Structures are given as C-alpha cells and as structure tokens.
C-alpha cells in the first residue's frame, strides 16, 4: 500500500500547528494556575485584614463601654447598664453576646443577639474565669461547633477599684 503523498509544506504546517496549539494550551494552563494562586493569596490577605478589623472593633467597643459604664455602676443604675449592653449587642450582627457582671460574678446583664445562641451559654459562662483575670482590655477565642467567636473583656475600673467586667463576643462568621 502506498501512502497518499503529502507535501513537505503541508506536513510542516500540521506539525507547527500542533506545536503552537500545545504551546498555547500550556500558556493558558500557566495563566490559570497563576491566577488561582494570586486569588487565593488575595483571599487570605482579605481575611487577615477583616479579622484585624473585627479585633480593632471589639477592642474599641470594650474600652468605650468599660469607660461609659463606670458612673452608671457606681450609681447602681441597673436599667441604664442593661440598656447600653443590650443596645450594643442588637446594633451589630457581628456581636453575638454582651455581658456585664459585678465583682462577685453576678450577671447584671446577659444579652444574646438571638435565641439561637442560648445553646452556647455554657461555653460562654466557662470563659468568664478568663474574663475576670484580665487587668485591661483583652481578647480570647471561643469555638461553638463551627462558629468561632472572639470574646473581648475589660474590667470596669473607677479610681483603681474594679467594679465589674464587661464582655462582648464577636462572631467571625462573616470572615
């Protein structure tokens, strides 16, 4: 059997065409891999920035509330303390809970964002020991199943006397 005659030119065009096609596929593959790596790096950087922003928000919140509650606690203004903590919790979907407890660990206010978080009450209460050990605004991580919460705690201090502890839990769910 004789092969059909193909000119050298035609053979060269076919081989070059296949070579160019393979090179093009290789370049596209490299571009896709690079874009995927860059995208993942951007996502990671964004998550770090968001987490830092959430931490800054929590620290500012806890410091401001710690200072704002001093006079109210000294005056035993329970309803005003309750209003501030509850309104703070309800003002942001990031805030899961807010708690103010006196020095004897009696909760004046225990405000949850919604009733879904009642099941986490035991874990929140376990973290109260850590909160009472803090001498300044601090943060700690608590895990509730798949939900991660950053708890912020600060003593409420008047003239070097600790009047109680204010705590807020901020969810990292949005991250």
Highest mean pLDDT (candidates 48-52, 83-87, 111-115, 145-149): 83-87
pLDDT > 60? residue 175? no
pTM, two decimals, is 0.73
If DSSP codes are grouped into helix, strand and coil, which group holds residue 43?
A: helix
Structure confidence at residue 168 as a pLDDT band (50, 70, 90): very high
User: The tokens 């959430």 sit on which residue?
Assistant: 54
Work out the pLDDT band at 2, boundaries 50, 70, 90: low
Nearest to 154 by CA among 57, 58, 66: 66
pLDDT-derived band of residue 154, with 50, 70 and 90 as boundaries? Answer: very high
Q: What is the pLDDT of residue 26?
A: 95
């Amino acid at each position: 059997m004789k092969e059909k005659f193909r000119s050298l030119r035609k053979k060269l065009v076919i081989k070059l065409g296949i070579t160019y096609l393979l090179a093009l596929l290789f370049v596209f593959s490299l571009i896709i891999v690079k874009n995927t790596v860059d995208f993942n790096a951007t996502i990671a950087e964004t998550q770090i920035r968001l987490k830092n922003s959430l931490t800054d928000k929590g620290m500012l919140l806890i410091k401001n509330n710690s200072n704002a509650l001093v006079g109210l606690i000294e005056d035993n203004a329970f309803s005003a303390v309750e209003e501030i903590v509850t309104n703070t919790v309800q003002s942001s979907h990031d805030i899961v809970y807010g708690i103010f407890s006196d020095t004897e660990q009696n909760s004046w206010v225990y405000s949850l964002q919604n009733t879904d978080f009642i099941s986490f009450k035991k874990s929140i209460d376990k973290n109260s020991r850590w909160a009472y050990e803090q001498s300044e605004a601090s943060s700690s991580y608590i895990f509730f199943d798949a939900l991660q919460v950053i708890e912020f705690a600060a003593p409420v201090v008047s003239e070097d006397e600790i009047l109680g502890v204010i705590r807020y839990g901020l969810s990292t769910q949005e991250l």
